[in-house]
Amino acid sequence: MRQIDLDFQHNPVSSVPGWILLGGGMLMAVLMLGAHLRTSDEADVRSAELQRVEQQLQKRGLRQAPLSAAEEKARVASVAEMRRITAQMNLPWDGLFAMLEAQPRQDIALLSLAPDARKGQLRIAAEARDLAAMLAFHRELEASDALSDVSLLNHEMVTEQAERPIRFNLLANWGVKDARP
């Protein structure tokens, strides 16, 4: 059997490459700190210059250069698109989903929901097991507080499937109070 040599107070030996790496790392840290301070000072100088120029422009009443007709039209279109997107984001989705999840839908499968914030409408595409399930779902949506004036747009029997489900589209007015088109 081989003898085991246990040394609990082993002093690690420092190596030359280790000291070189440590010195290089410290040198890089000092150089990066200097570059950061230089960049920070330049940013402060440029910020002060920008504030001075803006104050001069405000005194003269020149806030920004006038836009050309094409640039103005593009800006108006961009603002309109941002408002449309904001209106879509501000829709009360939680209330709608809670209402739809609370509906007993054993025989109904929701395929898509398409809100239109500008018109305050919601288009629902769904599939029902039979005509009675479709009509019951329509009545339940009409009776809900979140939707009003629920209309059946179209329906068709899917003959390619053995169960012959009914695909249909509904259009409902959705109480959108916070969304502004």
CB 176 within 8 A of CB 92: yes
pLDDT in tens, the chain (181 residues): 788 877 777 777 788 998 999 999 999 999 999 999 999 999 999 999 999 988 888 887 766 666 688 888 888 899 998 887 887 777 777 778 888 888 877 889 999 988 887 788 889 999 999 999 999 999 998 888 888 899 999 999 888 888 889 999 999 988 654 444 4
| Partners of 126 in the β-ladder | 110, 168
The answer to the question of residue 73 being in a domain is no
Say yes or no: 107 and 168 in one domain.
yes
Q: Is residue 135 part of a domain?
A: yes
The separation between the first and the last C-alpha atoms of the chain, rounded to the nearest angstrom, is 86
- pLDDT number for residue 179: 43
Q: Which amino acid is residue 142, in one-letter code? A: E
Does residue 162 share a domain with residue 103? yes
Count of all residues that appear for the chain in the document: 181
Is 127 within the bounds of a domain? Answer: yes
* 165 and 101 together in one domain: yes
Q: Same domain, yes or no, for 93 and 60?
A: no
Residue 69 lies in a domain: no
Q: How many structural domains are present in the chain?
A: 2
Q: Which residues contact 96 (CB under 8 A, 6 or more apart)?
A: 113, 122, 146, 174
Closest alpha carbon to 95 in 152, 20, 13, 179: 179
47 shares a domain with 100: no
In a domain, 9, yes or no: no
Residue 27 lies in a domain: yes
Distance from C-alpha of 35 to C-alpha of 27, rounded to nearest angstrom: 12
Which pLDDT belongs to residue 6? 79
Whole-number pLDDT of residue 78:
92
Regarding whether 107 and 41 lie in a shared domain, the answer is no
Q: Is residue 3 part of a domain?
A: no
Q: Are residues 109 and 46 in the same domain?
A: no
The answer as to whether 21 is a domain residue is yes
Q: Examine the domain organization and report whether 33 and 106 are in the same domain.
A: no
Q: Which domain holds residue 151?
A: 89-174
Q: Per-residue pLDDT tens for 122-167?
A: 899 999 999 999 999 999 988 888 888 999 999 998 888 888 899 9
For residue 97, the domain's CATH number is 3.30.1360.100
